[in-house]
Amino acid sequence: MTDIGDHRPVAVPVPVPARMRRLPTDVAGRPIPWFVATITGVPDPRVGDGDKWVHAVRFRCCWVCGQTLGRYAAFVLGPMCAVNKVTSEPGCHLECAIYSVRVCPFLSRPDMRRRQRGITPGENGFQMPAGHMLTRNPGVAVVWVTTRWEPTKTPTGPLICLGEPTRVLWFCRGVEATPQQARAGLESGIPLLEQACEHDEDPAGSRADLAREIAAARKLLPA
C-alpha cells in the first residue's frame, strides 16, 4: 500500500476557473468537463469522448474546458507517466489542470477506486485508453507543464508523448504534496514498470532504459 501519510487538509471550496464557468453543470452545480462523453443520454465523467480527443489534439484545445491552449499545456498524470513521459489524455490550461487534481475524487482521494461498472469496453462506444493503464490509485497526481507534445500511434491506440517539462507540480489529497508523499507515490509504482520490462523483446535493454527514466523522474520530485 502506498504510504502517503494521513495529513488531510481542511476541506475548503475550490474556485472554478473562469474558463470552466462556461461549461454545463450537473445536478449539484458542478461543471461537467468538456471531455466527458454522454452515455445513454447522460454525461459520464469516467469516460472521455473519442471525437473530442481528436479535436483537442488537432486544434490544441484544453481537455477540461475545451478552449484553445496557448504555448503551454498542463498534463494531468499519474507518477508512472512522469517516468515514461507518455499519457493518454490531452493537455489543459494550468488552472484547469490544477482544479481537476483538487476536485476529482480519484485524483484527490488516495482511497478512491476506479468505478468501472456500466462502462464495459465495446459497449456504448466505450474503449479502454491506449497503452497499459495501471488501475491502482497511486495517491498522488502530477501536473506536467510543457511546450512540446505530440501524438503517436501504438498497437493499442493513440497516445501523447510529452516533451521536457518547464514545471512539474505534485498533489496529494487536493493540495500540493509533501516531498515524502510525492516520493512514496512514485516509488510504489516502479516495481510494476520493472515487471513490465520482462515481457519486452529485449528485457535487459528495457530495464536499462527504465533505469534512466526513473533517475530523471526522481529529479522532478519536490525538494
pTM reported for the whole predicted model: 0.84
Model confidence band, residue 6 (pLDDT cutoffs 50, 70, 90)? very low
% of the chain beyond a pLDDT of 90: 67
Residue 12's pLDDT is what? Answer: 59
In this predicted model, which residue has the larger pLDDT, 148 or 139?
148
Cell, residue 192? 510494476
Residue 47 banded pLDDT, cuts 50, 70, 90: confident
Q: Which three cell numbers stand for residue 184?
A: 512514496
Length of the chain measured in residues: 223
**Across the chain, where does the E strand assignment appear?**
36-39, 42-48, 73-77, 86-87, 141-146, 149-154, 157-162, 167-172, 175-176
Which SS3 state, helix, strand or coil, does residue 52 take?
helix
Q: Which residue has the higher pLDDT, 39 or 114?
A: 39
- Mean pLDDT over 142-163 rounds to 95
DSSP-derived secondary structure letter, 25? B
Spatial distance between the Cα atoms of 169 and 142, rounded to a whole number of angstroms:
6
Q: What's the whole-number average pLDDT of the chain?
A: 86
Distance CA 212, CA 89 (A): 24
Arithmetic mean of pLDDT, 30-38:
94
Per-residue pLDDT at 168 exceeds 70: yes
Strand 86-87 vs strand 175-176: parallel, antiparallel, or unpaired? Answer: unpaired
